[in-house]
Structure 1
Amino acid sequence: MISAVTLPRALRVGGGSVAELGTLIGSMGYRRPLLVTDAFMVQSGAAENLIASLSACGLEPCLFSETVPDPTTDSLWVGVRLAQDHNADCVIGFGGGSPMDSAKAIALLVAQGGEMRDYKAPKINSGPALPIFAVPTTAGTGSEATQFTIITDSKTDEKMLCIGSAFLPVAAIVDFELTLSMPARLTADTGIDALTHAIEAYVSRKANNFSDLLALKAINSIAGNLERAYVDGQDRSAREAMMYASTQAGMAFSNSSVALVHGMARPLGAHFHVAHGMSIAMLLPVVTEFSVGSAIPRYAECARALMCASDSDPDRLAADKLVERLRNLATDLAVPTPRSYGINEQEWKKLTPLMAQQAIDSGSPGNNPVVPEVTEVAALFDQVYA
């Protein structure tokens, strides 16, 4: 079988590597980057420091810091106009998943125009787009190595999955020191998101030998380090391992796919304004239990990589141990349920049919080991709330 593999052209990996961003951009022939980030990165001084570093390399950066959590179609236009007015020749995504998704969308809209809904899956977007440089500050999305972006339609509240090489960064900076200030809740949720990327990439119907190696390595790295980083955010070795695992998991699912957990997480997050990582964390144990029987050997290998099952365990036992481990992990990392998070039960039930249909329509559940009917997705939403 021939697998089409897409990766960034360049990576700079290691503590302090963010200092090399300006040199990297200049070496590729670009001079006028639009730096896309959020208010927190401005308030912390990180954005100002990066602007100064870029300027010191002879670049002429422009700052757009008005990204919002779970970016919407409406939130993009100021950035698009700013990029046009600046005559930007590249875009930098600096921050967590929201600045990354915004940067990718802006890069495409500047080059092609139109509305983001014109580019949602199943459309494959191969370009053109402004070149994207990715600098993640959280260990979870893996967006620095993926050909995806997620944008919420402001008119319909649909979280739109947009796919294609137009969204793949040309280069990424993977600097774990940027994650040292992450709070415990964000560490937990983004870490579970990275774990889910790796598991879903491995059990996906689109899995291949290349993505398999990256997925299992990411799972194994997360196994020994997620709880350590959650308990002690200054644990440098745990932070470094989680950062690399996030990038590996991003490469894995970008060259395989995500599946049912992500398909369900998008409408959950859109309708109830739950952060993406937390939405994933709420869903992972229940959806894995639903899916495990259709890919027992694959889930068993995930369990062994996660070090909750041994090589001597039969596959069925190992797969069951994975489900148990994911439940315990949610407890250990204080993952809320929709109920404890404060989501109204009647509103949840009212929106469940729509969320189930939107999950199916996203296409991701079609990659799941067992492809669910819309009624089964609705039942899973009910189970997650209960």
Structure 2
Amino acid sequence: MTASIHLPRRLLIGGGAGAELGSILSSLECRRALVVTDTYLHDSGVVDRVLGSLGSGIEAVVFADTVPDPTDHCVEAAADVLRSGDFDCVVGLGGGSPMDTAKAAAILAASGGRMRDYRTPTLTDTPGLPIIAIPTTAGSGSECTRFTVVTDTETNDKMLCAGLAFLPVAALVDYRLTLTMPPRLSADAGVDALTHAIEAYVSRRANPFADSLALPAMRTIYANVRRVYEDPDNHDARSAMMLAATQAGMAFSNSSVALIHGMSRPIGAHFHLAHGLSNAMLLPVVTEFSVDGAPDRYATCARVLGVASDDDSDAAACLALVTALTRLNEALEVPNPQACGIPAAEWSALTSLMAEQALASGSPANNPRIPSAPEIEQLYTDVFAQ
């Protein structure tokens, strides 16, 4: 099998990388940037700190109206600003939502139409404006992926949009920008990144290049996510998590995600739970369902995490993996849907629709064990009851 690999053209990693924005823009011959971010980062001074590196000759205008789980309306608003401002690049500064908004707006402003025109299985490879990504969370990996996710407000469906057009040309990966992440966000983003690594490795689209990133990423995340949850000021753990999240992002961008992500997007669309939290809820239950589809691969995950040894059978290693992921959620105090205030009746009423939406996303088809709609419905039921 031939694997087609796509990565950002420039990738700066390490403490202080965010201060290199000015030099990166200069190297790309960009002089007027729209910075897409959120209100918190704008008001907390993070945006000003990053933009302080621009120097003379480069202008920046800030769009700080992004929302969690970006909607088509939010993307259209950012695209309108882009069209009217003679910009030559877009900077996504923040977690997955601002970066995804920036990526989608760059395409929409250049090519027109509506976001639903770009949802999978459509592949959008014709580039819009250059995209520069600066993550402030160690989780989404959006800074180095050829995907973006936008909610269609008319259908309440989270649309996966894919193609080389969504791949940033440069990413500045600065762990210092994650030091203010609260424990809940640190945990959810960390498990999101762990899910990226595991799904990239067990996916039916896995390949040796993606494997080489996914395996060290999952090892590092599993070893450090508890540390950043319990000790937010731990620079070593923050640095390790930031690098691993980027590795996991590159892994799934060049492999794929699978059933967990397919099921997670409808949860976020209907119940407005953070994407990382939805993934965390699903990870143990869906892994247990999926292990029979690729026991050797899941067993390798267990051994890489250090929860099984080479002497263990694959079956024993798979069981140890599911147990370890369950205990990780317990240690990180990941709530179930009921603890998040979702009524049982409302969850049950939407399981059929969510299963349809999960399958329509295409991600479940990459899973080692491909589920039917009734099986996905049962998994949603199991997640609620856990």
Aligned to 1:185: 184
Aligned to 1:15: 15
Instruction: Supply the AA of the counterpart residue of 2:153.
Output: S
- Give the secondary structure class of the aligned counterpart of 1:53: coil
1:127 deviation in Å?
1.5
- Give the secondary structure class of the aligned counterpart of 1:252: helix
What pairs up with 1:43-62 in 2 under 5 angstroms?
A: 43-54=43-54, 56-62=55-61
Instruction: Supply the AA of the counterpart residue of 2:18.
Output: V
1:81 deviation in Å?
1.4
Aligned to 2:282: 283
- Give the secondary structure class of the aligned counterpart of 2:290: helix
Change (3 A) 1:218 1:128: same
Aligned to 2:326: 327
Aligned to 1:164: 163
Q: Could you tell me whether the CA contact under 8 Å between 1:159 and 1:267 is conserved in 2?
A: yes
Is the counterpart of residue 4 in structure 1 residue 11 in structure 2?
A: no
Q: Partners in 1 of 2:282 and 2:149 — Cα distance?
A: 18
Q: Could you tell me whether the CA contact under 8 Å between 1:23 and 1:57 is conserved in 2?
A: no
Q: Could you tell me whether the CA contact under 8 Å between 2:21 and 2:51 is conserved in 1?
A: no
What pairs up with 1:129-140 in 2 under 5 angstroms?
A: 129-140=128-139
1:128 deviation in Å?
2.6
Q: Could you tell me whether the CA contact under 8 Å between 2:147 and 2:163 is conserved in 1?
A: yes
Q: Could you tell me whether the CA contact under 8 Å between 1:94 and 1:137 is conserved in 2?
A: yes
Q: Could you tell me whether the CA contact under 8 Å between 1:223 and 1:305 is conserved in 2?
A: no
Deviates more, 1:313-322 or 1:253-262: 313-322
Instruction: Supply the AA of the counterpart residue of 1:30.
Output: C
Q: Could you tell me whether the CA contact under 8 Å between 1:222 and 1:306 is conserved in 2?
A: no
Structure 1 residue runs of 5 or longer lacking an equivalent are none
Q: Partners in 1 of 2:10 and 2:303 — Cα distance?
A: 32
Q: Per-residue displacement from partner, 1:18-67 (whole Å, max 9, x unpaired)?
A: 1111111111111111100000001111112223322x142111110000
- Give the secondary structure class of the aligned counterpart of 1:121: coil
Deviates more, 1:328-337 or 1:73-82: 73-82
Q: Per-residue displacement from partner, 1:220-252 (whole Å, max 9, x unpaired)?
A: 111211101110011111000000000000000
Aligned to 2:298: 299
- Give the secondary structure class of the aligned counterpart of 1:61: strand
Q: Partners in 1 of 2:79 and 2:26 — Cα distance?
A: 22
Instruction: Supply the AA of the counterpart residue of 2:188.
Output: D
Instruction: Supply the AA of the counterpart residue of 2:78.
Output: G
Instruction: Supply the AA of the counterpart residue of 1:128.
Output: P
Q: Partners in 2 of 1:83 and 1:63 — Cα distance?
A: 11
Q: Per-residue displacement from partner, 1:162-210 (whole Å, max 9, x unpaired)?
A: 0000000000001001001100000000000000000000000000000
Aligned to 1:38: 38
Q: Partners in 2 of 1:224 and 1:70 — Cα distance?
A: 28
Q: Could you tell me whether the CA contact under 8 Å between 1:223 and 1:307 is conserved in 2?
A: no
Q: Partners in 2 of 1:235 and 1:64 — Cα distance?
A: 31
Structure 2 residue runs of 5 or longer lacking an equivalent are none
- Give the secondary structure class of the aligned counterpart of 2:194: helix
Q: Partners in 2 of 1:3 and 1:76 — Cα distance?
A: 31
- Give the secondary structure class of the aligned counterpart of 2:4: coil
Q: Could you tell me whether the CA contact under 8 Å between 2:127 and 2:164 is conserved in 1?
A: no
Aligned to 2:122: 123
1:294 deviation in Å?
1.2
Aligned to 1:97: 96
Q: Partners in 2 of 1:76 and 1:224 — Cα distance?
A: 36
Runs of 4+ in structure 1 deviating by more than 3 angstroms, as ranges, are: none
- Give the secondary structure class of the aligned counterpart of 1:149: strand
Question: Normalising to structure 2: TM-score of the pair?
Answer: 0.99
Instruction: Supply the AA of the counterpart residue of 1:381.
Output: Y
What pairs up with 1:235-314 in 2 under 5 angstroms?
A: 235-314=234-313
Q: Could you tell me whether the CA contact under 8 Å between 2:34 and 2:63 is conserved in 1?
A: yes
CA RMSD of aligned residues (A): 0.8
Aligned to 1:376: 375
Question: Normalising to structure 1: TM-score of the pair?
Answer: 0.99
Instruction: Supply the AA of the counterpart residue of 2:51.
Output: I
- Give the secondary structure class of the aligned counterpart of 2:161: strand
Q: Partners in 2 of 1:205 and 1:240 — Cα distance?
A: 30
- Give the secondary structure class of the aligned counterpart of 2:342: coil
